[in-house]
Amino acid sequence: MNTKWTQLVCTAALIATTTVHGAGLIKPLGGGNAGAFIKSHHVEVIINNGYAQTIVEQVFGNNSDNDYEAIYSFPIPKKASLSEISLWIDGNEVVGEVIEKERAREIYEDQVTKGNDTALAEKNDFKTFEISIGRVRAGTDTRVRMVYYQPIEIDLNIGRYVYPLAEGGVDEERIAFWEIDNKVHEHFSFHLKLKSAFPVADVRVPGYDQFAMITHTNDTYDVTLEQNEGGADLSRDIVFYYRLDDSVPARIEIIPYRASSKESGTFMAVVTPAASLRPISEGSDWIFVLDVSGSMSGEKINTLTKGVEKVLGKMSPNDRFKLITFNNSAKDLTRGFITATPQNVEKWIRNVRKIKTGGGTALFDGLKKAYRSLDDDRTTGIILVTDGVCNVGPQGHKTFLNLLKQYDIRLFTFVMGNSANQPLMDRLAKDSGGFAMNISSSDDIVGRLLQAKIKILHECMHDVQLTFSGEKTTQLTPVAPGNLFMGQQLVTFGRYNGSGEVNLTFSAKVSGEQKQWTCTATLPEIDTENPELERMWALAHIEETMETIREDGETKPLRQKIIDLGTEYSLVTDYTSMIVLNDEELEGAGIQRRNYERVQRERAAQQQRASQPARNHRVDNGNTFNNRRAPGIGTGPVGPLFIGIVAWLNRRKKMAA
């Protein structure tokens, strides 16, 4: 990459350096440089077999005469399993091990006191992962590597991956005391490799399209962003989209892992259904519940405003809308429902643009006001736009869930930015029969809203279930998937014993009528290609257990379940942390090298997959969904209505054969 190209990337891709904070080193507010800084930041992402592996390697420098402890913080990616922290000690990589959180903190602080090289990875609820490096030595480099995995779901034939960097602005205590040093002083690079067994029509990196180097060979896309000169800021998310070809079929896929016939196997089942979901044509009432608290300032409120404008502008004159805002309290901005005539829409778009942010977040009051004065004769939907953090009034999950149980109205949550209370937003949407959608400030908001509108304006599949018979399958998660909307996938993890054929039944209610689709798959006796599935299965169970804790409170058995899963599968959770120690200290603490062994298996499998073409894990014969294509943006009854999203994704890009 030449110097001119590098300067363009620096200018256009790494923006907002003076007002936006993101992932980076935590330092005392007004405390100055304190010596430690981020020297380089390199990201490798591989999307293959239905999930993404993200590898981050950072080098920290220290330009002072003293050794410093450094804390690197970054937002928690959705459904991500932080599975690997490595620290280079005396030139050798040392992989971290997972133990109970309190004990890990005690050992880490003891190591810091002794002056030993050590590192600690902790989870700060739903907000951030924090990596503490015990000693960044004066005048030398300190190298750290972290790895996480996450499933990638396809929505209307569009896959989406987010590398989260932007500061969520939701942790008031941290904001009041700390500042984030997110500047990379030397080299920044981001490289993403997409391998797909199904043809890809297009890829996109919003905000980076003109500067990203994109190459395409056979079944693989490579995307590279790079800056070789100092000044890069880790303050803006990188969002990658890919669109599958319109010919891609509805399907059922099973991705297995089983190390030997003596051990249980793990699988990820992905169902991409096709069913006749009729459009909702009658006039509807839409209640917008808009978070205008202080944490929604900046890019968030700009994105919210643009989104509401787009939705209001697409309404039919038969529709009605109501706008409710909330910060310290809730306010009915429109004072009742407004008919969506062109004149009314134009007027309220102007009013939305005048919205200012400030104050706390009375989320419960906002939702409570939305449920008042409903018209039983009309279809009603509630659209909640928030960063999901409530700090005024009721805050417990159970209080919100009890409110929703009183009404049979779908709630659609649009979660703005990083470090949001994603667990609460997902649960509220799921229990009401709606869906939750993440919105990054780096997203193409028009495209995301078009995806959402297709779902909202069509029937959905109710009471979805995936069942297995034949071979013994156990510990499926999620236990109750809920509803599936147009273009959504069902992703399920499970365990199995034995091998051979298993019968799958995917069932749901459509227009009140029970439907089911079946196929037969083979669970292999041995398949060592995807050992990472074990971690993702364990994390899915941990998330369901945490859901119970958030609703009903912590109990000793539930806490112990998470500790057991976290330590066995080496995952950083609310109750477990990952600590890096040299061999002597590790042995003295009586900590086993579980994660080291797991990491070696994963790296060997990853190296083998890198040299192979993308593997097709489809198990149905095509008749399961009557040989129909997967619902997408250019197919089926929704195609003509949403031609705009095709233009959104179809753009000029630099391609190399």
- Look at residue 452 and tell me if it is in a domain: yes
Same domain, 374 and 414: yes
Angular region, 533: left φ>0, alpha ψ -120 to 50, beta rest: alpha
- Residue 478: asked if its preceding bond is cis (omega within 30°), the reply is yes
Q: Is 335 a residue whose pLDDT tops 60?
A: yes
* Cβ burial, residue 453 (10 Å; 0-12/13-18/19+): middle
- Give the pLDDT score at 168: 53
- Give the pLDDT score at 247: 92
Same domain, 428 and 303: yes
Percent of the chain with pLDDT strictly greater than 90: 46
What ranges in 132-257 are assigned the alpha helix state H? 172-177
CATH number at residue 373: 3.40.50.410
Show which of 410, 428, 456 is a domain's final residue: 456
What ranges in 407-532 are assigned the alpha helix state H? 422-432, 445-456
Same domain, 352 and 480: no
Greatest CA separation found in the chain?
A: 74
- Give the pLDDT score at 638: 33
Specify the range with the lowest mean pLDDT, choosing from 21-30, 296-305, 420-429, 454-463.
Answer: 21-30
pLDDT band at 178, cuts 50/70/90?
low
Specify the range with the lowest mean pLDDT, choosing from 142-156, 175-189, 197-211.
Answer: 175-189
Q: Is 647 a residue whose pLDDT tops 70?
A: no
* C-beta separation of 161 from 190 below 8 A: no
How many domains, the chain? 2
- Look at residue 196 and tell me if it is in a domain: no
- Give the pLDDT score at 47: 96
CATH number at residue 465: 2.60.40.1230
Nearest C-alpha neighbor of 168 from the set 79, 290, 299, 55: 299
d(CA 480, CA 281): 29
More confident residue, 542 or 316: 542
- Look at residue 478 and tell me if it is in a domain: yes
Same domain, 407 and 300: yes
Nearest C-alpha neighbor of 235 from the set 286, 294, 299, 285: 299
- Other CB atoms within a 10 A radius of the CB of residue 580 amount to 28
Beta bridge partners of residue 363, listed in sequence order: none
Average pLDDT over residues 160-180: 67
- Give the pLDDT score at 637: 34
HEC string of 83-138 equals: EEEEEEECCEEEECEEEEHHHHHHHHHHHHHHCCCCEEEEEECCCEEEEEEEEECC
pLDDT band at 653, cuts 50/70/90?
very low
pLDDT band at 131, cuts 50/70/90?
very high
Tokens at residue 176, please? 């009041």
Name, in order, each residue with C-beta under 8 angstroms of 538's C-beta and a sequence gap of 6 or more.
81, 565, 566, 568, 569, 571
Same domain, 483 and 408: no
| 3-class secondary-structure state, position 339 | strand
Name, in order, each residue with C-beta under 8 angstroms of 512's C-beta and a sequence gap of 6 or more.
none
* Cβ burial, residue 170 (10 Å; 0-12/13-18/19+): buried
Domain range holding 324? 284-456
- Give the pLDDT score at 120: 96
d(CA 286, CA 425): 18
Instruction: Tell me the range of 15-19, 214-218, 478-482, 523-527 where mean pLDDT is highest.
Output: 523-527
Same domain, 416 and 551: no
Q: Is 429 a residue whose pLDDT tops 90?
A: no
Show which of 391, 424, 456 is a domain's final residue: 456
Same domain, 315 and 369: yes
* C-beta separation of 288 from 322 below 8 A: yes
Q: Is 316 a residue whose pLDDT tops 90?
A: no
Same domain, 427 and 528: no
Average pLDDT over residues 280-290: 81
- Look at residue 414 and tell me if it is in a domain: yes
Percent of the chain with pLDDT strictly greater than 70: 89
Q: Chain-wide mean pLDDT for the chain?
A: 84
Nearest C-alpha neighbor of 151 from the set 246, 50, 59, 78: 50
- Look at residue 405 and tell me if it is in a domain: yes
Q: Is 235 a residue whose pLDDT tops 60?
A: yes
Nearest C-alpha neighbor of 352 from the set 380, 325, 314: 325
Same domain, 298 and 344: yes
Same domain, 400 and 296: yes
Q: Among all chains, which residue has been given the structure tokens 């049979």?
A: 408
92-128 pLDDT, tens digit per residue, is 999 999 999 999 999 999 999 999 999 999 998 877 8
Helix (H) or strand (E) holding 400: helix 397-405
Q: Is 276 a residue whose pLDDT tops 50?
A: yes
- Look at residue 65 and tell me if it is in a domain: no
- Other CB atoms within a 10 A radius of the CB of residue 629 amount to 20
Same domain, 267 and 343: no
- Look at residue 84 and tell me if it is in a domain: no
- Give the pLDDT score at 468: 92
d(CA 545, CA 367): 26
Q: Is 500 a residue whose pLDDT tops 80?
A: yes
Q: Is 231 a residue whose pLDDT tops 90?
A: no
556-583 pLDDT, tens digit per residue, is 999 999 999 999 999 999 999 999 999 9
pLDDT band at 636, cuts 50/70/90?
very low
Same domain, 418 and 340: yes
Show which of 456, 476, 510 is a domain's final residue: 456
- Give the pLDDT score at 639: 36
574-610 pLDDT, tens digit per residue, is 999 999 999 999 999 999 999 999 999 999 999 999 9
Q: Is 657 a residue whose pLDDT tops 50?
A: no
- Look at residue 21 and tell me if it is in a domain: no
